Chain A
Amino acid sequence: GAVVSQHPSWVICKSGTSVKIECRSLDFQATTMFWYRQFPKQSLMLMATSNEGSKATYEQGVEKDKFLINHASLTLSTLTVTSAHPEDSSFYICSVIRNSQETQYFGPGTRLLVL
């Protein structure tokens, strides 16, 4: 499978600060990148779909002003959690896809803890 990296792998921050998470597609240029969130003992929930050079599409209930997504290149997408609060503590996972016909590959995830 394809290699996807995320940085950082874990982060602890104070309430009110912003945190940026990077997702890189290392094996191919990804036309689309996805961001998921996973709370303890729950399944993955899609937050947004990001296409290079265009605005991200957010799922219902996900605040686009709070979760800023930048997909500046075909190999890099970033998710910024702005003014983080303890309820934003979660496991954030990105995935990449070369095109819609192909398989989606996931990153290792970033664990965020907001104090």
Chain B
Amino acid sequence: EDKVVQSPLSLVVHEGDTVTLNCSYEVTNFRSLLWYKQEKKAPTFLFMLTSSGIEKKSGRLSSILDKKELFSILNITATQTGDSAVYLCSIRGSGGSNYKLTFGKGTLLTVNP
């Protein structure tokens, strides 16, 4: 069964700190890993990592995928209070004919001024 484990479950930092969020996974036939940010309401897409795209960057956020060790990290540099959110990691495998997209429980990041 596909599995996604995120750590830590919660994290409190001060503005300006750099944070690293972790996502480890077990999946049948890895296809992609996606990161989402969830503030008060709906999750919003951050990155998709695949075998052909193992590193992504957007502004202060970056993510890498290690397919050998089965994990991904999301880095946020120079954190701001607006980065406070739950960060979700999801994995898509391609085992058999069944579509499967599995989410982790998320990491709650709180950035204090």
Whether both chains belong to one complex is answered with no
